[in-house]
Amino acid sequence: MKKIFGGKTSKSDGNGALVGKTVQVGQFHVKVETLLGQGGYAEIYQVKEVNTGQTYALKHLKLAGHPEHILEVQKEAKTMAKLKGHPNILRLHAASFAGPRNNETDGFFLLDFCPATLLEVMQTRNFQLSDRMVLHVFGCVCAAVSHMHTQNPPLAHR
């Protein structure tokens, strides 16, 4: 998972301000279960939709009313919505903002939940990728980047 404003994302011990709370993001009501990672401006949580039991990731962005951060996060939400439906791109299910209008203090993105990164899987299971699997993963990444480049205007990957 990447952070929106750069820097490192760290694994967490599961203690986050939202753990145990229920948050509404769009039409979804999610119960926050575990803090997965955090950085300077964002925290990523594992959440469960209250009505369906579906697991998602919740990206909580701390905007603190900074206009430049609010605009950046709104732009990211619009970009992710444009990319919706591609099989190799994380899907944004809903986005919402909290706080006074035009001075939001928090942003929330409800995303697909990925239980582990490829690197984590390889490290924890002493897993070796075959040449065929390396080519498959590389092809998936190329397809996602190509999809971004074919947007109007083209999108660059950071």
pLDDT mean values, one per 10 residues, the chain (158 residues): 35 71 95 92 94 96 81 87 88 86 79 85 73 89 91 81
pLDDT (0 to 100) of residue 103 = 63
pLDDT (0 to 100) of residue 4 = 30
**Token pair listed for 115:** 């239980």
Render pLDDT for 73-88 as a digit per residue (tens, 0 to 9): 888 888 888 888 899 8
**Token pair listed for 66:** 């900074």
pLDDT (0 to 100) of residue 5 = 31
Query: For residue 149, what are the contacts with CB-CB under 8 A and spacing of at least 6?
Result: 155, 156
